[in-house]
């Protein structure tokens, strides 16, 4: 998956916004909470949230490492973006979206039209 495909998929999810933070990172959020971050500068890099029980296991593989500054929140950085099949990308991004969405209050979810 490249940045254009990632962007298209993230923006296809309900109530997602995008903005640029830290000068060159494209950030996808729901309710103001980030669920996916990618660098606009090559090479393509991407970080997202994973389940607590998956974090340690994923970080021991050659494809993932703890995401800088976000590892404490169970975010991973994809090290080899070409090694992950398109369907796994979609599943991981959707899982991150769902994890972040689940932390929003019911009032926030209703105001975003996602509850």
pLDDT at 82: 87
Judged by DSSP in three states, 14 sits in coil
pTM here?
A: 0.94
Taking the CA atoms of residue 54, residue 85, residue 103 and residue 31 in that order, the dihedral angle to the nearest 10 degrees is: 150
Q: Cα–Cα distance between 23 and 36 in angstroms, integer?
A: 16
Per-residue pLDDT of the chain (115 residues; tens, 9 = 90+): 889 999 999 999 999 999 999 889 999 999 999 999 999 988 889 999 999 999 999 999 999 999 999 999 999 999 888 889 999 999 999 999 999 999 999 999 999 999 7
Region 3-103: CATH code = 3.90.1150.30
């Amino acid at each position: 998956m490249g940045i254009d495909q990632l962007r298209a998929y993230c923006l296809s999810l309900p109530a997602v916004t995008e903005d640029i933070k830290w000068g060159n990172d494209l950030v996808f959020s729901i309710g103001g909470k980030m669920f996916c971050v990618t660098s606009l500068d090559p090479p393509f890099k991407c970080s997202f949230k994973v389940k607590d029980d998956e974090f340690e296991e994923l970080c021991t593989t050659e494809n993932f490492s703890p995401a800088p500054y976000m590892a404490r929140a169970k975010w991973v950085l994809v090290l080899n973006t070409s090694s992950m099949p398109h369907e796994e990308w979609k599943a991981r991004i959707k899982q991150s979206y769902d994890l972040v969405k689940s932390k929003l209050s019911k009032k926030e979810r209703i105001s975003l039209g996602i509850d």
